Amino acid sequence: MSLRISDASSRLLLASVALAVTSGCGRPKPDDAAVTKVETQARADAGEVLCARGDAPLAKVCSLARAQDGHGLFLTIAFPDGGFRRFVIPNDGTGIAAADGAERAEVTTPAPDRVDVAIGGDRFRLPATIAP
């Protein structure tokens, strides 16, 4: 089941993405400072993330939805044309990965405040924080 992200769930999602991607093992808990930073960014983002297809420049036009189950947090990032990609952040703390299909997601952290995810010809930039 997918839900549209509200500001409150967006904050938790972004904190989860950041901590899952930046942790090597275990299941980290976000600290108050990290959550506050993510909450501020989420309000500014209004539930949208940077995305692009092919060589197009990144633009904040993709919507974000999430669903949680026993396996982890599932993210659905939808393009304005209706196309979408699904990702999972497993409960085991291994980081973000493609949830569907045969293509693997390539994840990089070009800066402490962001995570770039590429799959096929699609690219996404998600906010990230590094836990102290």
Backbone angles phi, psi at 30, to 5 degrees: -70, 145
pLDDT digits (tens, 9 = 90+) for 70-127: 888 888 999 999 999 999 888 887 888 999 878 999 999 988 888 899 999 999 998 7
pTM: 0.63
Would you tell me how many other CB atoms lie within 10 Å of the CB of residue 98? 17
116 - beta bridge partners?
Answer: 108, 125
Which DSSP state fits 110?
E
* pLDDT computed for residue 27 by the predictor: 45
Burial class (CB in 10 A: 0-12, 13-18, 19+), 9: middle
Helix (H, G, I), strand (E, B) or coil at 13: helix
Q: What is the CA radius of gyration of the chain?
A: 14
Q: What is the pLDDT of residue 91?
A: 84
**How confident is the model at residue 60, as a pLDDT?**
93
**What is the Cα–Cα distance from 131 to 57, expressed in whole angstroms?**
29
Of the two residues 12 and 87, the one the predictor is more confident about is: 87
Q: What is the pLDDT of residue 101?
A: 78
In 3D space, the residue among 26, 30, 27 whose CA is nearest the CA of residue 13 turns out to be: 30
Task: Break the chain into its structural domains and give their ranges.
Answer: 3-127
